[in-house]
Structure 1
Amino acid sequence: MKALADLVFDNRFARLGDAFSTPVLPEPLEQPRLVVASAQAMALLDLDPAEADTELFAEIFAGHKLWSDAEPRAMVYSGHQFGVYNPRLGDGRGLLLGEVVNDAGEHWDLHLKGAGQTPYSRMGDGRAVLRSSIREFLASEYLHALGIPTTRALCVTGSMTPVWRERQESGAMLLRLAPSHVRFGHFEYFYYTNQHEQLKVLGEHVLSCHFADCLSAENPWAAMFRAVVERNAALIARWQAYGFCHGVMNSDNMSILGITFDYGPYAFLDDFDAKHICNHSDDSGRYSFSNQVPIAHWNLAALAQALTPFVEVEQLRETLALFLPLYQAHHLALMRRRLGFTQAQEGDGELVERLLQLMQGGAVDYSLFFRRLGERAPAEALRQLREDFVDLAGFDQWAQDYAARTAQEGADQTARRARMHAVNPLYVLRNYLAQNAITAAEQGDYGPVRELHAVLSRPFEEQPGMQTYTERPPEWGKHLEISCSS
């Protein structure tokens, strides 16, 4: 394991030059203190977990010190925000500190959010607040624990720096990790500004660093776009299967790697509602839970437009047409697993769709339904789950069909329970749990956020003494709307 001082940097994106990013130094936070750190994320850099307890750790990730080989830069990009093109966005409060190479030869971007003003801050102060930093930290590490591709979060550093949003809050910084922070919006920026030479440089960089297996294709750009479509189909299927609402699926919040990116007012469904809107600012419901599939397709079309200088339009259209069937196949495979099926049968898609329709409008906790469905033999489990449904006759018919389908699997209940519990989490990152941890952290008590992170790091395993984290949310905690302000 390594100390902080021993990290090795290879800043490939910085070497692209000033057309792609601007050198900026972080603005330090006052009286920094570590709020929470992820030992699992630190391991990606081969960092010794004990480093989190050092004074240097908080100083570096609050902007007071830097490695000599770090090259902090603010990236420039554009993007479609709520369907409207914004020609110049960029890292307005974040900095790419540099790229660390671990002992396995993997490159990891170190990206510091809340690092102060940049040329892309527009009218903003470049800061992040404690609540949003904690929320992104928890979500990043929880989605990873669920097996959903995501950026990772190494730590949150708090401070005494005042930051004004709807009220005065305390400033914080989040250090997140990813193999790349290139977004769909990077490609859009160089396309719409007619900087096609720079667009070519960007594409060749992304190909060589992240899609090397596409370089041998007849048209590497076309092969890369197909890979991006395939990755996003798999990603969105996981979001929908596990009830995750992103909240702000702007094209500048879409990673070229097909990972969950730029957490804002996200939520996991409590009571199932396909129309759920988690973003307080989303008046039209553009980014509602049910709209995430068509919006992902829309964003991929926006990316395809930016690739037209290098790929024929008809080929882009053909590739884009693969998204929905790929999504449907991935989603059905995931839902089969959640329902305890090991074999594929023709009627499974209809069985899943009927269940979701029955859940709508009831009091069915989306996550706990699947967990409890596997707790006991089907007939007994279904009797206990029945009371949360409105259409009891419809549910009874579904339950009968599900029990018959389960009987065809031929597995005993012990094997079925183990199989279902391995994919259906007992512990869910609910907004009210995050809010409770944030409230304590804002009062200087970091114990709750650290405990919540530890519990969520093992979402499928029953953990003694953590029963409170398995309960359904109180009424006040259901369907909390979160704003974009951070």
Structure 2
Amino acid sequence: MDGFDPGHICNHSDHQGRYAYGRQPNVAYWNLYCLAQALAPLIDDQELTLQVLEGYKTLFPRYLGDAMRAKLGLVGDLAPESEREADWTLVEDVMQLMAAEKVDFTVFWRQLSRAVLQQSTAPALTDAGWSAVTDLVLDRSRLLAWLARYTERAGQRHFAAMGEHMLRTNPKFVLRNHLAETAIRQAQAGDFSEIDTLYNLLKSPFDEHPGMQAYADLPPDWAGQLEISCSS
């Protein structure tokens, strides 16, 4: 997924969108339920099996919330449940904005990390101060309003340290479909250099890798036509 879309369907044969991005938590639970059914004769304790399954409903949202808080740099404290809920609202709101404008998922989080790194302990909420992020959207005022809430939540954190952590959490390089497609085509022609390049980049996706910016840029238009299958 490049432009963020909760309804994104990765597999071309998933006509009903069961495995769409936004449905991943529920379909993961369904898969675990099927696994539990297969193991039930070996476990021989239906109540225990159901108890373990129900634990997923509690643990998954918490771990997902912690992962998204880490993407925002909100780590290093044992936040009470009320703050976790407020942080999740921050996540939901910015993802709704990203979805409305199909903002590139990887680029957004990386640019946000860079912007935080460059802020002082009392960041000025001006368009210029956050241009690396606001340039990604059309509705700048909506994003600036969100950034005001975000920086208020960050409080007195040292923004440089916070940004450094975010740069180690939000990768610069991911295996985008068009990069894989190009590497596959060249490999089929006997040239494995692109596969070697991607392999080296993805071994350390959080590093800058000077001279490799093209592999982190927005995808070309033709990338939107790519579909993959289970055997891709």
Equivalent position of 1:477 in the other structure: 223
Q: What letter corresponds to residue 114 of structure 2 in structure 1?
A: E
The higher-RCO structure (CA 8 Å, 6+ apart) is 2
Distance 1:423 1:485, change over 3 A: closer
What is the CA-CA distance between 1:366 and the residue it aligns to?
A: 0.6
What is the CA-CA distance between 1:280 and the residue it aligns to?
A: 0.9
Deviations 1:191-247 (A, max 9, x none): xxxxxxxxxxxxxxxxxxxxxxxxxxxxxxxxxxxxxxxxxxxxxxxxxxxxxxxxx
The answer to whether residue 143 in structure 2 is matched with residue 410 in structure 1 is no
Q: Which structure is higher in helix share?
A: 2
Q: Which structure is higher in strand share?
A: 1
- 353, 364, 375: which is aligned to 2:103? 364
3-state SS of the aligned residue for 2:175? coil
Long gaps (5+) in structure 2: none
What is the CA-CA distance between 1:432 and the residue it aligns to?
A: 0.3
What is the CA-CA distance between 1:292 and the residue it aligns to?
A: 1.4
Deviations 1:369-415 (A, max 9, x none): 11111213264564332243355553232121012122x142142x2
Asked whether the equivalents of residues 373 and 381 of structure 1 are also in contact (C-alpha less than 8 Å), the reply is no
Asked whether the equivalents of residues 297 and 323 of structure 1 are also in contact (C-alpha less than 8 Å), the reply is yes
Asked whether the equivalents of residues 278 and 480 of structure 1 are also in contact (C-alpha less than 8 Å), the reply is no
Equivalent position of 2:189 in the other structure: 443
Long gaps (5+) in structure 1: 1-268
- 44, 48, 71: which is aligned to 1:311? 44
The aligned runs of 1:328-407 (5 Å cut-off) are 328-342=61-75, 343=77, 344=79, 345-346=83-84, 347-376=86-115, 377=119, 379=125, 382-389=130-137, 391-406=139-154
Asked whether the equivalents of residues 72 and 166 of structure 2 are also in contact (C-alpha less than 8 Å), the reply is yes
Distance 1:431 1:381 in 2: 32
Deviations 1:287-337 (A, max 9, x none): 111121111100111122223333322222222111122111111111111
Asked whether the equivalents of residues 339 and 420 of structure 1 are also in contact (C-alpha less than 8 Å), the reply is yes
Q: What letter corresponds to residue 401 of structure 1 in structure 2?
A: R
Deviations 1:39-80 (A, max 9, x none): xxxxxxxxxxxxxxxxxxxxxxxxxxxxxxxxxxxxxxxxxx
Distance 1:409 1:311 in 2: 53
What is the CA-CA distance between 1:341 and the residue it aligns to?
A: 1.3
Asked whether the equivalents of residues 108 and 136 of structure 2 are also in contact (C-alpha less than 8 Å), the reply is no
Distance 1:481 1:397 in 2: 36
Normalised to the residue count of structure 2, the TM-score between the two structures is: 0.85
Asked whether the equivalents of residues 372 and 381 of structure 1 are also in contact (C-alpha less than 8 Å), the reply is no
Normalised to the residue count of structure 1, the TM-score between the two structures is: 0.42
Equivalent position of 1:39 in the other structure: none
The aligned runs of 1:15-414 (5 Å cut-off) are 269-309=1-41, 310-342=43-75, 343=77, 344=79, 345-346=83-84, 347-376=86-115, 377=119, 379=125, 382-389=130-137, 391-406=139-154, 408-413=155-160
Asked whether the equivalents of residues 275 and 288 of structure 1 are also in contact (C-alpha less than 8 Å), the reply is yes
The aligned runs of 1:423-434 (5 Å cut-off) are 423-434=169-180
Distance 1:463 1:473, change over 3 A: same
Distance 2:129 2:110 in 1: 10
Distance 1:290 1:479, change over 3 A: farther
